[in-house]
Structure 1
Amino acid sequence: MCSIGEDDFGDEGGMHAMLPSSVESQAVTTAGDCTKCSQPAEELYKLNFRQPECRACFLNYARHKFRAALGASKALPRGAEVLLLIDGTPESLVLLDMLHYAQTQNTFKRLHCNVRVLYIDAGSSLSKRDPLPALRDCQRRYTPFEFHVVHSNATPDSVQLLDNYIAIAEPKQLEKHRNLTAHQDYAQQQRKRLMGAVAAQLRCSHIFESSICSTLATQLLSSIALGRGGSVALDVALFDDRLPAQVKLLRPLKDLNAQEVQLYVKAQQLQAFPTINELDKDSASLQNLTKSFVDNLQLNYASTVSTIFRTGDKIAAKRCLNVEVDAKCALCQSDLEEETSDTLLAIEYSRSVSEAGAALQQRQSIEQLEKCARERLLTSRDLCHACSNIKTELGIALT
């Protein structure tokens, strides 16, 4: 017999719509006894699907996720030089606080690495929401970490210590780009290249990025939609080795969710300083719409976001089997296809037909259109499909 209950269907046989789950939001309850250590506490921290805990037990739980991500993978060697990227978001400050705590433990529990902090200035230091004072407060709180700043449009060798940094006005370039989706994708790839180059400049072998579960779920869906399916596994993995100068990118907060981050911020009294980024406004780009979609899922169907993220964990990175070729994309450093893909050829063929429009005559044979499509692929042979789209949409040279 069918195991589906009759209540799952309407009177007309149609299926009822899925209702949003009634999952509790993040909450700090009043005084009581901790269910973990049984000690009385002035505040109890209640996570979804967990019993209320005192502040110390909650912090131990959250910090264990951070240490477990690094310990299970063994991706961070002892004595490594680490560059921690912060951007003023709660996630980045949580990572900074956790890393500083791990550095101040006794010899047995200490995370043995040397840490520098990097902030990439996208021009917000000249706005009313100047992040430099907040950065200086962080520098005083998290001594002895060195804080460095570099402008997003500057060269890697222009990185400076926070105490010596002077903001420089840069001309706005957003108006030059008509496609916000391509511009956001290009800005993200350029940011990664700058991170890797600055890390090499500071002689750091590893970079810590503060992406959490919901952020990586958004990245997974966006990468697939942008045509980066071949490299999507590295976009959401703990370990990413596509940066220049053999710098490794790590995402140690990948197992934390937004609720845990917000409660950690409250427990440690962290002050986020969101900066102005013109590319993150509520504009109709694929990345912004995907983020809005995932945020709505996180609000109403939190388990679905976790499912998306865990699916990305199961995807294996596609590697080039021919060691002699080992071709890389000139922009994102992802592996390129060894042979011409039939799918990409069909896309370029369709694009050729669309651009021909009314000028397309019957005398233009299928062979001619296919030849034109192959020529398009050859002109962008050093770029992956997604980066080739950036080049086409923005009309700029990618090197």
Structure 2
Amino acid sequence: MVTHKFRATVGKSKLVNRGERVLVCVSGSQSSVSLLHMIWTGLQQSTYKRLTFEPVVLYIDESVLHDYPLDQVKKIKELFEKYGLTYHIVKFSAAVYLDNCLNKDTNVDQYNDKLQNIFNNLSDLTLKEDMLMKLRKRAITKLADLLKCTRIMTAENEHKLSIRLLSNVALGRGSQISLDIGLAVNNKNNNNTSLVTIRPMRNLSAKEISYYALFNKLDDFMHSNFLTATSEDESIQKTTERFVNDLQVDFPSTVSTIFRTGEKISEKTSAIAYCLLCQGIMEVNVSPSSAMEATKYSKYVSLMGVKALKLSLKELKNEETNEKNCNGCKCRNKQDLKEKIIESLCYACTHIIQELESLDDLPEEILNKEKERLQFKKMEEQIKDFLL
């Protein structure tokens, strides 16, 4: 039944064409190891049932941020070699900062420091986990381009996607739900517009995957992360997970209900912009009476007191900018860039960037994209008077 669900999902509407290169992301979790086994089994089938795409297996080594067992990468490598598939093991810092991140001889010590600085500046576990997911997504997209893959397969199951759905709503990423839980998501905000992320395990429950791994004697290679050994109240993601798990115990259809409801939620707007950091959908032309604008206004009132009640949101933003201006000090240039970048971020990513002491540790491509946007905007302002 599990294999049938997987093959039915992959075969739906011909998501993957014959001979296409597919980047299969393996984290070492039970779900990702099961995905790898299903693909390998599908490649061994008779001609009629055989999977016809070309898998390229990817493992991103995040030991720079977490405490891995010393033999973790070695075991992952042995697993890949057992299946005989093309595979790549890439350091996380190299994937985030380097264009040619497949070169194993490159010294990544300085990039390890930059990556650690980013997460050390984020005191909130919620923001750390959110930032990790967004940087990981950017890294996977970059590697798919480098390896000339037109499809990306990830191993999120129904339970994990249900938790992510509710977490996204709590984080202010409601407009991005369809991108984060959809079956096949086209990465429109990327040079390679044909790149599609597929989630073939999304119709499988955590219990089904556990039984599949048990019957096929599959070992997982899970490691610690930011949320390991933390209390349930220290992050939105952990609180959401507890909420869903507790409901699932008394009401077994909780996960499937959340998941099926989330499938029906999508952003229907022609005016779409994309976040500079997470590459997700940004809301444009937001109504002054929206929840987002109300939250911003509340923040200014908390910071500035009674005088904020007499000003509009636009006037409050200008007031804050003037207060930050330290009389021509050189640090003002960096503050200006930070404020400009925030204009290109979604609501949730704004909180992440505001926590960072310096933007110097961000990937160069993010800073370059913002500089290009500012140059284009400046040119647009210069020529608008000459346009009819």
- Residue pairs, 1:267-282, within 5 angstroms: 267-282=215-230
Identical pairs, percent? 33
Q: Matches of 2:216 and 2:255 in 1, distance apart?
A: 26
How many residues align? The count is: 328
Classify 1:198/1:356 alpha carbon distance in 2 versus 1 (closer, same or farther; 3 Å): same
**1:158 aligned onto 2:101:** yes
> Which of 251, 256, 264 in structure 1 is aligned with 2:204?
256
**1:367 aligned onto 2:316:** no
Matched with 2:348 is 386
What is the alpha-carbon root mean square deviation over aligned residues? 2.7
Tell me if structure 2 keeps the 8 A contact 1:93–1:272. Answer: yes
Classify 1:374/1:225 alpha carbon distance in 2 versus 1 (closer, same or farther; 3 Å): farther
Classify 1:340/1:115 alpha carbon distance in 2 versus 1 (closer, same or farther; 3 Å): same
Tell me if structure 2 keeps the 8 A contact 1:62–1:260. Answer: yes
Q: Matches of 1:82 and 1:381 in 2, distance apart?
A: 35
Q: Residue 101 of structure 1 aligns to a residue in which SS?
A: helix
Matched with 2:184 is 239
Q: Matches of 2:259 and 2:312 in 1, distance apart?
A: 43
Q: Residue 158 of structure 1 aligns to a residue in which SS?
A: coil
**1:220 aligned onto 2:169:** no
Q: Matches of 1:120 and 1:248 in 2, distance apart?
A: 19
Report the structure, 1 or 2, having the larger helix content: 2
**1:67 aligned onto 2:37:** no
Tell me if structure 2 keeps the 8 A contact 1:349–1:370. Answer: no
Matched with 2:72 is 131
> Which of 128, 142, 157 in structure 1 is aligned with 2:83?
142
- Residue pairs, 1:1-399, within 5 angstroms: 61-123=1-63, 127-143=68-84, 145-154=85-94, 155-159=98-102, 170-171=112-113, 172-173=116-117, 174-242=119-187, 244=190, 245-246=192-193, 247-283=195-231, 284-316=234-266, 318-322=267-271, 326-342=272-288, 343=290, 344-357=292-305, 360-361=306-307, 366-368=310-312, 370-373=314-317, 379=340, 380-395=342-357, 397=359, 399=366
Matched with 2:375 is none
Q: Matches of 1:340 and 1:373 in 2, distance apart?
A: 16
Q: Residue 281 of structure 2 aligns to a residue in which SS?
A: coil
Offset of residue 113 of structure 1: 0.6
Q: Normalization by structure 2: what TM-score?
A: 0.77
Offset of residue 248 of structure 1: 1.3
Q: Residue 278 of structure 1 aligns to a residue in which SS?
A: coil
Q: Residue 196 of structure 1 aligns to a residue in which SS?
A: helix
Offset of residue 134 of structure 1: 1.5
Larger RCO, structures 1/2 (Cα 8 Å, 6+ apart): 2
Q: Residue 107 of structure 1 aligns to a residue in which SS?
A: coil
Offset of residue 214 of structure 1: 0.4
Offset of residue 388 of structure 1: 1.6
Tell me if structure 2 keeps the 8 A contact 1:102–1:111. Answer: yes
Tell me if structure 2 keeps the 8 A contact 1:181–1:286. Answer: yes
Paired letter, 1:391: I
Structure 1 unpaired stretches of 5+: 1-60
Structure 2 unpaired stretches of 5+: 322-338, 367-388
Tell me if structure 1 keeps the 8 A contact 2:134–2:277. Answer: yes
Tell me if structure 2 keeps the 8 A contact 1:129–1:276. Answer: no
Q: Normalization by structure 1: what TM-score?
A: 0.75
